Amino acid sequence: MILAFSPTFGLVTAIAAVLLYGLLALASKRLPAAAASAVLLAACFFQALTLAEGLFGDPPRFGFAPAPKACLETPRALALHRRFL
């Protein structure tokens, strides 16, 4: 995850996203499909919050690296979601 975040709210949301993605990577075989889908949705939500905080924070921290990352995350998340359903 390439994120530019602040040391407050953005840090908390970035850590939450990383932990949820890690949980999904480690336990995806053992989680029921509905739980895996919920974890993936929560991870994407926290990553979106981190990116939004970077974009609308003071000063804005949304640069070149997070822009393509945000564009690439959406199809990847949808593909993973379809895999777990």
- Give the count of domains, the chain: 1
Range of the domain at 26: 9-84
Report residue 40 as tokens. 């993936």
- For position 69, what pLDDT does the model report? 66
Closest among 31, 55, 58 to 43, alpha carbons compared: 31
Specify the pTM.
0.67
- For position 25, what pLDDT does the model report? 86
pLDDT tens-digit readout, 24-67: 888 878 888 888 888 888 998 998 888 788 777 777 666 656 56
- For position 44, what pLDDT does the model report? 86
CB 5 within 8 Å of CB 53? yes
- 10 Å Cβ neighbour count for 47? 24
Instruction: Determine, yes or no, domain membership for 4.
Output: no
First and final C-alpha spacing in the chain: 24
The mean per-residue pLDDT over the stretch 3-12 comes to 71
15 has a pLDDT exceeding 70: yes
